Amino acid sequence: MAQGYRDLIVWQKAIKLIVEIYKLSNTLPRAETYGLSSQMRRAAVSIPSNIAEGSRRGTHKEFRYFLLVAFGSGAELETQVEIAKQLYTRREINFETIDLLLDEVMKMLNKMIYSTDYRLLTTN
């Protein structure tokens, strides 16, 4: 946890994911402004925000908790992106970048959670 959150590749990729989600949400119909667009934006922003907050908490136990929250937000976002795909397949929307980034972020978070679990087991 000595490494600053801005140096974490998972945090950097999550920030890139936010940019892509905002681009996507800007292409959705106006009717989605307070629905799917808003939900996707909130879930995307939650991922790096929780990574950052957890990294500043000071203990592995708290860091793990916030990584789990970030992971949960990622799962929400996966679901919301799938809904957008199902509803708006005819639009000129490229989901490939979002899918790639989201998959990378989720895999990295999963590894970080397991790594933190190991640290908790070996330090107690």
pLDDT of residue 94: 80
Q: Using CA atoms, how far apart are residues 68 and 53, in angstroms rounded to an integer? A: 12
Q: Which domains does the chain have, with CATH numbers?
A: 5-123 (1.20.1440.60)
Running along the chain, 124 residues long, what does each successive block of 10 average in pLDDT? Answer: 84 98 93 94 99 93 96 99 89 86 98 86 69
Query: Within 13 Å and on the Cβ side, how many CA atoms surround 90?
Result: 2
pLDDT of residue 84: 94
Q: Using CA atoms, how far apart are residues 49 and 11, in angstroms rounded to an integer? A: 9
Q: What is the 3-state secondary structure (H, E, C) of 22-66?
A: HHHHHHCCHHHCCCHHHHHHHHHHHHHHHHHHHHCCCCHHHHHHH
pLDDT of residue 64: 95
pLDDT of residue 120: 73
pTM higher than 0.95, yes or no? no
pLDDT of residue 15: 99
Q: Are 63 and 116 in contact (CB under 8 A)?
A: yes
Q: Using CA atoms, how far apart are residues 124 and 120, in angstroms rounded to an integer? A: 6
Find the angle CA(30)-CA(73)-CA(98) to the nearest 5 degrees. Answer: 60
